[in-house]
Structure 1
Amino acid sequence: MSNSAPKLHNAMWPGLVGKGDGEGQEPPISLEHMLDLTAAADVNGQKFEGIDYFLFHPHTDPNASDDEIKRIADLIASKGFVVGSLVAPVWPGTVGDSSMGDDAQQQKFLDAVKVACRIAKVFNNHGIRKYGVIRIDSAEFGIAKWRENPQANTARIIDTFKKAAQIAKDNGERLAAEGEICWAGMHSWKDMLDVLEGVGMPESLGFQADLAHTYLYTLGYNAPEHALLKEGYSEAEFYAAYEKMTDALRPWTIDFHVAQNDGTVHGAGSHDKTGKHCQADDPNGKLDIVKCAGYWLKDAPSRGIKHICWDGCMFPNAVLETPKTWNTILDTMIKVRNSHGW
């Protein structure tokens, strides 16, 4: 079966996340080069149809003028792409700061959401963006500080997210909170659900599911009390646990990343100790990507999902610059769409 939706997007941030000028880090890959690598992918005439985009240096100055943002939109369009979901620069060291911090830190977090909404409006008015969300997380990397007072810290994250969701609503946007074990208060499926339900604004704040990260939710890597599986699990045990998790989070899911995980927890640079993405055909991959995607994409149109995106954070540059990488990924995305699309 061949479907035309959801649209197939590639993420631009693998050219940035974990890259830099620090010791042992590889240099970032420019936006135009990432676009060219994406545009070159082709599987029996099917191409990537759009990109998802990180709103920070060196791809984007978050304080760029509207005219500068329009020029970026023109560049993206010239490669044959539209823009879908945007990643707000909510972290310390970017525009934002921790969502569970003091009032000044919270305001910086909210300012980052305002920046993302402004750029989204420019893209929307340009015509290059007609769907997608704005992605956020708690911007509190690691869970040690959160564990000092889980109840109060979760309440603070909820308060920040409520204010952020109102900003998004006022701008005609929706926020998607990324579920990943490295983000405090969002580091387990149960803690993530507590935040979403605590905010209680499903029309403005939902969940972004990433296959690689949510796999680690089942193992309770940073929250053993919420583990659904033990090492050595059987296939039947895995899918029973996976269904329990997806049934809880799917109603909130408004953005979806296709990815693979090899079961290890390691990143790069400042983005260390997080879920490890690996290549779509990695022999050590733990997931049947197509089957697992179906758990998240069930009834996807009713939740406003119009595209899916590949996420390959922290791939080495040599992998990112190999054409076979992108053709294999695109082929996997097509299989997901043909099995679960519309």
Structure 2
Amino acid sequence: MAGKNNFPKLHNAMWPGLVGKGPDSEPPIDLDTMIALTAAAQVNGVTFDGIDIFHAAPHTDIDFTADEAKALAEKAAKHNLAIGSIVAPVWPPVGGGSAMGSAEDRRKFVANVRKSCELGKALRDLGVRKYGVIRIDSASSPADWAKDPAGNTKLIAQTWREACDVAKDFGERLAAEGEICWGGMHSWKAMVDTLEQTDRPGIIGFQADMAHTLLYTMGYNAPEAALLPEGFDWKDQAQLDAALVKMTDLLRPWTIDFHVAQNDGTVKGMGYHDKTGRHCMVTDPNGRLDIVKHAGMWLRNKDGSLTRAMKHICWDGCMFPNEVMMKQQTWNDILGVMIKVRDAHGWEG
């Protein structure tokens, strides 16, 4: 039996097959396998509608050819999957550069955003991408940012404005992922400040991931921005809800991309990835979030009306162990909770 709503569309992220993987962790999972696991998931006749992709090798080469873009589109279409948001590889190890770095670093950052915008356009032209954003961050650490908060935020905003000019030319929007491991984005206060200084509403916005934004309330990497007291009792749902309401009220107006996720209130790093919000399975007994209820804080306005700001929502299983990711039941369980989120906070369109 199908769910009662058909929007927002339900997507699965492909980058958990790469992020946190590598020589000092676990082997990456190839794109074909990630797509196959996504396509095979089914709950009462409902399947995933699409995928969000990582614009980096070995999944998708940053310097892609027209034939490679066509092959990617065909892979998705073969499984009746759309392609939505694209993660731009803005980091130095893959040819990008710090958004608050040298002039050359910032040039590389914008250059890689351009390449992802080009991929986005190619996939639109091929008919598999009708919505979604280009996801960015600052490609900088909180420790480096803290050496000169005002100056570094100004530089990030300047770089983002240049990236916005590129995105606008391609008819794209940029979404800055709020994550405690990115300088100038490592707290809700810093995130709002950086977006306001960038001052490109309608072109750049916020990408909220429930596993990461929970850490915002706890003040990881930014104790001055904590909305929950040290030693918080997780049984106090009223206090947790109040903190999440305050945060979402400030960030929701900027939110244009959304990841459904679970977190146990701890951080995790794996492979080359710095410690950030820990993604947990929907069935994890230590999960601190009421996924459906707390997703509504992002997907509904203060008055309870739907924002309809995103045509799709995505599950992010970043840094899940390969053993977990290779089990089909994992993706069935994830799809099941995604359907519940859409039934509670979606619409017919």
TM-score tier after normalising by the smaller chain length = over 0.9
Q: Secondary structure at the match of 1:284?
A: coil
CA displacement 1:41-68 (0-9 Å, x = unmatched): 1100000010000000000111011121
Does structure 1 conserve the Cα–Cα contact (< 8 Å) formed by 2:267 and 2:278? Answer: yes
The structure 1 residue matched to 2:324, chosen from 295, 319, 322, is 319
Corresponding residue for residue 296 of structure 1 = 298
Corresponding residue for residue 305 of structure 1 = 310
Q: Give the distance between the partners of 1:32 and 1:195, measured in 2 at CA.
A: 37
Q: Give the distance between the partners of 1:158 and 1:224, measured in 2 at CA.
A: 23
Does structure 2 conserve the Cα–Cα contact (< 8 Å) formed by 1:258 and 1:311? Answer: yes
Q: Give the distance between the partners of 1:243 and 1:301, measured in 2 at CA.
A: 15
Corresponding residue for residue 126 of structure 1 = 126
CA displacement 1:147-196 (0-9 Å, x = unmatched): 11111011110111111111101110000000000000100000000011
Corresponding residue for residue 339 of structure 1 = 344
Q: Secondary structure at the match of 2:278?
A: strand
Does structure 1 conserve the Cα–Cα contact (< 8 Å) formed by 2:306 and 2:346? Answer: no
Q: Aligned pair in 2 of structure 1 residues 191, 303: CA closer, same or farther (>3 Å)?
A: farther
Does structure 2 conserve the Cα–Cα contact (< 8 Å) formed by 1:260 and 1:287? Answer: yes
- Point out the more displaced range, 296-305 or 330-339: 296-305
CA displacement 1:69-118 (0-9 Å, x = unmatched): 11111111111100000000101111311101010000000001100011
Q: Give the distance between the partners of 2:94 and 2:225, measured in 1 at CA.
A: 32
Matched, 1:208 2:207: yes
Does structure 1 conserve the Cα–Cα contact (< 8 Å) formed by 2:299 and 2:307? Answer: no
Aligned length in residues: 339
Q: Secondary structure at the match of 1:206?
A: strand
Q: Secondary structure at the match of 1:217?
A: helix
Matched, 1:188 2:187: yes
| 1:304 shift after superposition | 3.8
Amino acid at match of 1:276: R
Q: Give the distance between the partners of 2:67 and 2:327, measured in 1 at CA.
A: 33
Amino acid at match of 1:209: A
Q: Give the distance between the partners of 1:283 and 1:198, measured in 2 at CA.
A: 40
* Residues 221-260 of structure 1: pairs in structure 2 closer than 5 A: 221-230=220-229, 231-233=231-233, 234-260=236-262
Q: Give the distance between the partners of 1:289 and 1:194, measured in 2 at CA.
A: 27
Corresponding residue for residue 88 of structure 2 = 88
Q: Secondary structure at the match of 1:93?
A: helix
CA displacement 1:225-270 (0-9 Å, x = unmatched): 0100013242111111111100000000000000000111112011
Corresponding residue for residue 169 of structure 1 = 168
Unaligned runs of 5+ in 1: none
Q: Give the distance between the partners of 1:61 and 1:253, measured in 2 at CA.
A: 28
Q: Give the distance between the partners of 2:307 and 2:282, measured in 1 at CA.
A: 28
Corresponding residue for residue 137 of structure 1 = 137
The structure 2 residue matched to 1:14, chosen from 1, 6, 16, is 16
Q: Give the distance between the partners of 1:19 and 1:301, measured in 2 at CA.
A: 37
Amino acid at match of 1:315: F
Q: Give the distance between the partners of 1:134 and 1:152, measured in 2 at CA.
A: 25
* Residues 36-185 of structure 1: pairs in structure 2 closer than 5 A: 36-140=36-140, 142-185=141-184
| 1:5 shift after superposition | 0.5
Q: Secondary structure at the match of 2:93?
A: coil
Corresponding residue for residue 281 of structure 2 = 279
Q: Give the distance between the partners of 2:120 and 2:54, measured in 1 at CA.
A: 11
Does structure 2 conserve the Cα–Cα contact (< 8 Å) formed by 1:254 and 1:303? Answer: no
Corresponding residue for residue 197 of structure 1 = 196
Q: Aligned pair in 2 of structure 1 residues 127, 301: CA closer, same or farther (>3 Å)?
A: farther
Q: Give the distance between the partners of 1:16 and 1:32, measured in 2 at CA.
A: 13
Does structure 2 conserve the Cα–Cα contact (< 8 Å) formed by 1:95 and 1:111? Answer: no
Q: Give the distance between the partners of 2:345 and 2:6, measured in 1 at CA.
A: 11
Does structure 1 conserve the Cα–Cα contact (< 8 Å) formed by 2:255 and 2:309? Answer: no
Amino acid at match of 1:76: A
If the length of structure 2 is used for normalisation, what is the TM-score? 0.95
Q: Give the distance between the partners of 2:232 and 2:65, measured in 1 at CA.
A: 53
RMSD between aligned alpha carbons?
1.2
Does structure 1 conserve the Cα–Cα contact (< 8 Å) formed by 2:174 and 2:203? Answer: yes
Q: Secondary structure at the match of 2:32?
A: helix
Q: Secondary structure at the match of 1:261?
A: coil
Amino acid at match of 1:163: E
Does structure 2 conserve the Cα–Cα contact (< 8 Å) formed by 1:7 and 1:307? Answer: yes
